[in-house]
Amino acid sequence: METENIQYEKLRKEREDYAVFNRGGKKDYWAYTQCGGCYAICSAKVRVVDGSPVAIESVPESDLGGKGGMCAKGVATVMDYHDPNRVNYPVKRTNPKKGIGEDPGWQRISWEEAMDTISKKLIEIKKTDPRQLLWGFTPGQGTAFKGTLLYGGFFVTFGTLNRAAGGVGTACGAVAHHIGALVHGAWDILPDYQYCNYVLRCGGNEGTAGGRMFSTAVRLSAAGRDRGMKTIVMDPVGYLAASKANEWIPILPGTDLAVFLAMANLIVNETGIYDKEYIRTKTNAPYLVGTNRLLVRDAASGKPLLWDEKDGKAKTYDDPTLTNPALEGEYTVDGVKCHPAFQLLKEHLKQYAPAWAAKISTVPENTIRRLAKELVEEARIGSTIEIDGKKIPYRPACVVGYKGLNTHTNGFHQYGAMALLNSLLGNQDVCGGILGSGTVRGFGYPETGRPSFQPYAGVDGMLIPGVWFTKSPWPPPEPAGPGLMNFTDIFPNAGRNPYPYCDDWDEIWTKAGRPYEPKALALYGTNVVMNGGNPKSAEAFLKKVPFIFSINTAHNETSEGFADIVLPECHFLENLDVASSQGFFFNYPIGMQKWSFHLGLPVVEPKYERRATLDILFDLADRIGIRDEYNSFLDNWFSTKNMKWEQTGAKSNQKSKQFDIIKPEERIRTTEFTDRALQFYFGKERGLDWFIEHGFITWDKKPEECYWRYYVDARIPVYHETLVRDKEAIRERAEKIGMHMDWDQYTALFSYFPAQMYNDASPGSGFDLVAVSPRDVMHTHRFTAENPWVDEMSETNPYTFNIVMNAETGMKKGIKDGDVICLENFKGTKVTGRVKLSQLIHLQAVAVVGLGGWAEGRPIAKGKGINFNQLLPADHKHMDPICGAFEINVMVKAYKVAGGK
């Protein structure tokens, strides 16, 4: 019925394709798909009555999710689908004025007009300089891989690396993903809950309130607790992950680095018990370092050298006769005095005394000592376990953490020091330890051997992920530019950063010579006004962009204030999305949980003029003239020939001319593309029709896949040589344009640096509290606040909409439970909200869930919660100098403004 009214030819054809999803016209059926409540993309099945989704659960027979169980935000997505405020047709802005809170004056337009307008602008930009097009995406609301893979791939193909995502990544995992790639070949990490006995969790709430494997992690960690797994949570907040822990250790935010370095010192220099074999064979700790702090290299091959204690010779890392590489000592190679990196590390760590760390972090010294002792004991270094007939190293203890560790200006060193502890325990990607999530080594479905991928050794024998999106982390590109508006060309280890939505962007761009101006911004959901720093910082930049278009399911503060055209995207319940299946290194069930390949399927035919993401991108690619190249990108990725943004791999179709799924010249639509990809993976009989009926395909995992560490001959960094090597080249470029970073951080061994927030306000200035923003169990990004069911629950959860403050701290400030208080940062920015006094938060911390929206298109979310992010200064001083992470905490003062009821 709807299809007859559709004028746009391409959309009509897409809808004809989508008739296959009407389940034969049944009135009451269950259909498979994947959940889009957050970026965990758990398995899902949905009940549809009279064409309306009414119930959702996860698939009990699958390991992807809660085995029937699903978190509240996932369950609630049924109501998002029914939100009458959704975008149903393309619209254009009629109010030329742009700004926070401006009424856009949306006017409905045709797809033809929308796509014609957008493509004309993009064609013009591509002709002159593709970098004039900026783009950003969100990983939220079922868009994780649509964003990184389909959308990101589009713009990489277009020729612009000007990713302007706002807070996405930078207020999240900028460092974690980078180090995750280098150490695990994975986007993130999780304890091997099935076998782990002891978890030290710092600054992250996976398994209780967040993370890319949410329901799966909840299920596995609950079972782990039931089995007797012990969890210690070291965190300023005690009411989230700590509520399920055996012990809560309050810590001053962003000071975990001191504790980790002190623990590493104890382990290496006092206890002396660590996994020497792991360090020797799986890290670059035995690589020889010269007096210039660079690796000593073989003159002929340029490969790093190690000292073989067996025969007293220097050899390359891949020398087949290398038997016992030295970890300590002093050697001379070709007249150069050198030491194994581990020797330098040992010496370096000696300065980090537990008493010193206690003073900085407020974690008692004897606690620091106890944690180090317990970790080593529980790790059972040297032990093995048999899994499915394979002997695997068994290390059932680990340290894990996420946002609270890495989103600081000291984030690289802080998160890296945590990884160092795990390396010392030898627990990375072996049984019971810390696993790169999902599972990054796969032999594929047994019948077909597809899809298959694995991490491998690259330059200097260092680990490279087999599957990745965003800028490949290794080897880092040469510092270049300035040429990108986000300056990630200058910073080789930064995939993204808060630019250009920073207060000093304009000044810096002028110093860079303004090589071009922003002509257009393409947004996929991403609500940059809300997810970066101060909305005013974002506003200042957005006002400079003459043309902004956004693909949304619902309007938000950014689209209303600044977009010229908004395109209606299908909600995940009506969106065919094969990208959702590609979570191998992101959300697939970890450890010995089964491979679980699901598909994002429409449970109902899309309504109005909403379109599937890939169809919009195919259409745009056709019009702009990049469809051939975009097809190539997708073919490389989905066929596993080259699963990277950089399409230059040895097996890529540009080299081989082999196209397995889609040829450059083909103009197929999403349904056909999906069908082909599935058949490529699982055989001719298991295409789209098969998946509509069966929903997913599952097969047993092999221990060599999830516990791959000793099956892959590659090393991970303990010594970050490229930071030393590239420091001057980076510094020169950055300083020239006024980016005065903390260059001391460009050092090869993890070292102590305080987080910037502590430098912003001097002691005695009155800014005595650290404002933090942890995840709430029911919220992710900002869109959850629009859901009426989630909203109802949030009203009953005292930790969600309120400012949480320590009860004793509040009392000293004359603040009572329920008072309305103001948090004011050192720049004079204020937020107000009701306070909940708690015993479960550090004396010097206040916690706020990041909400507080005003969009008219989100009436349920409007005015709910507090806009925390506006307290965060956005400039180069508040950015980690290595990976571009945003400083996510800020010093504030708190005072009462009104009494509570």
> Which amino acid, residue 735?
E
- Closest contact distance (angstroms) between CB of 69 and another protein is 4
Are 357 and 249 in contact by the 8 Å Cβ rule? The answer is: no
As a whole number of angstroms, the distance between CA 579 and CA 455 comes to: 20
Q: How far is the CB of 194 from another protein (least distance, A)?
A: 14
Q: Which of 702, 704, 64, 699 is nearest to 445 (CA)?
A: 699
Contact between 62 and another protein (CB under 8 A)? Answer: no
Q: Give the shortest CB-31-to-another protein separation in angstroms.
A: 16
Backbone angles phi, psi at 230, to 5 degrees: -100, 135
3-state secondary structure of 1: coil
Q: For another protein, what does the binding mask look like between residues 749 and 788, x meaning CB under 8 A? A: ----------------------------xx---------x
| Residues 296, 305 contacting (CB under 8 angstroms) | yes
The length of the chain, given as a count of residues = 901
CA angle 359, 362, 367 (to 5 degrees): 100
Name which of residues 312 to 371 contact another protein (CB under 8 A): none
Q: What are the beta bridge partners of residue 556?
A: none
Q: How far is the CB of 219 from another protein (least distance, A)?
A: 5
**Residue 65 interacting with another protein (CB under 8 A):** yes
Closer CB to another protein, residue 108 or residue 227? 227
Binding flag, residue 88, another protein (CB under 8 A): no
Alpha-carbon gap, residue 345 to 137, rounded angstroms: 39
334 Ramachandran zone, left/alpha/beta (phi>0; psi -120 to 50)? left
The closest of 737, 344, 321 to 507, measured between CA atoms, is 737
Among 462-470, 611-619, 724-732, 789-797, the segment contacting another protein (CB under 8 A): 789-797
Identify the CA nearest to 165 among candidates 540, 414, 514, 485: 485
Question: Does residue 283 bind another protein (CB under 8 A)?
Answer: no
Binding-site string for another protein from residue 836 to residue 855, where x marks contact by CB under 8 A and - marks none: --xxxx-x------------
- CB of residue 249 vs another protein: minimum separation in angstroms? 8
DSSP string, 151-187: IHHHHHHHT---B--TTTTTTTTHHHHHHHHHHHSSS
Q: List the one residue out of 550, 611, 609 whose CA is nearest residue 575.
A: 611
Is the Cβ of residue 182 or residue 840 nearer to another protein in the bound state? 840
Query: Is residue 797 part of the contact set for another protein (CB under 8 A)?
Result: yes
Nearest distance in Å: CB 489, another protein: 42
| Binding residues for another protein restricted to 207-226, rule: CB under 8 A | 207-209, 214-215, 218-219, 222-223, 225-226
Question: 830-838 and 820-825 as β-strands: parallel, antiparallel, unpaired?
Answer: antiparallel
CB of 108 to another protein, least distance (A): 18
Residue 33 binds to another protein (criterion: CB under 8 A): no
Where residue 105 falls (left for φ over 0; alpha for ψ -120 to 50; beta otherwise) is left
665 binds another protein (CB under 8 A): no
The Cβ of residue 568 has, within 10 Å, a number of other Cβ atoms equal to: 24
Going by C-alpha positions, the residue among 491, 431, 429 that lies closest to residue 182 is: 429
Which of 52, 94, 351, 762 is the binder for another protein (CB under 8 A)? Answer: 52
In the complex, least distance from residue 788 CB atom to another protein, rounded to whole angstroms: 4
Rounded CA separation 781/553 (Å): 14
4 or 226: whose CB is closer to another protein? 226
Q: How far is the CB of 127 from another protein (least distance, A)?
A: 45
The residue (of 60 and 105) whose beta carbon lies closer to another protein is 60
Dist. CA 415–CA 256, nearest whole Å: 9
Q: Which of 115, 576, 688, 860: binder of another protein (CB under 8 A)?
A: 860
Q: Which is nearer to another protein, 806 or 889 (CB)?
A: 806
Q: Which of 36, 91, 56, 383 is nearest to 214 (CA)?
A: 36
Determine, following the binding rule CB under 8 A, whether residue 664 of this chain makes contact with another protein.
Answer: no
Does the protein bind another protein through residue 790 (CB under 8 A)? yes
**C-alpha–C-alpha distance, residues 335 and 348, integer Å:** 24
Regarding 1 and contact with another protein (CB under 8 A), the answer is no
Provide, rounded to whole angstroms, the least separation between the CB of residue 227 and another protein.
Answer: 11
Q: Which of 6, 807, 820, 822 binds another protein (CB under 8 A)?
A: 807
Residues 6+ apart with CB under 8 A from 763: none
The residues in 395-414 that bind another protein, with binding defined as CB under 8 A, are none
Query: Residue 66 CB, nearest distance to another protein (Å)?
Result: 3
**Phi and psi torsions of 631, nearest 5°:** -60, -45
Q: In 10 A of CB 887, how many CB atoms?
A: 27
Of the pair 494, 849, the CB lying nearest another protein is at 849
Q: Tell which one of 35, 64, 71, 892 touches another protein (CB under 8 A).
A: 71
66 lies in the binding site for another protein (CB under 8 A): yes
Task: Name the minimum Å distance from CB 205 to another protein.
Answer: 9
Q: What is the 3-state secondary structure (H, E, C) of 638-695?
A: HCCCCCCCCCCCCCCHHHHCCCCCCCCCCCCCHHHHHHHHHHHHHCCCCCHHHHHHHC
Determine the interface stretch with another protein among 239-247, 480-488, 630-638, 752-760 (rule: CB under 8 A). Answer: 239-247
Question: If phi over 0 gives left and psi between -120 and 50 gives alpha, with beta otherwise, what is residue 159?
Answer: left
Determine the size of the site formed for another protein (CB under 8 A).
66
Please report how close the Cβ of residue 819 comes to another protein at its closest, in angstroms: 18
For another protein, the closer of residues 58 and 143 by Cβ is 58
Using the rule CB under 8 A, give the single segment among 247-255, 445-453, 759-767, 874-882 that binds another protein.
Answer: 247-255
Note whether 238 binds another protein by CB under 8 A. yes
Q: Which residues would be at the binding site for another protein (CB under 8 A)?
A: 49-50, 52, 54-58, 60, 65-72, 74-76, 78-79, 82-85, 207-209, 214-215, 218-219, 222-223, 225-226, 238-239, 242-244, 248-250, 777-778, 788-790, 792-793, 796-799, 806-808, 838-841, 843, 859-860
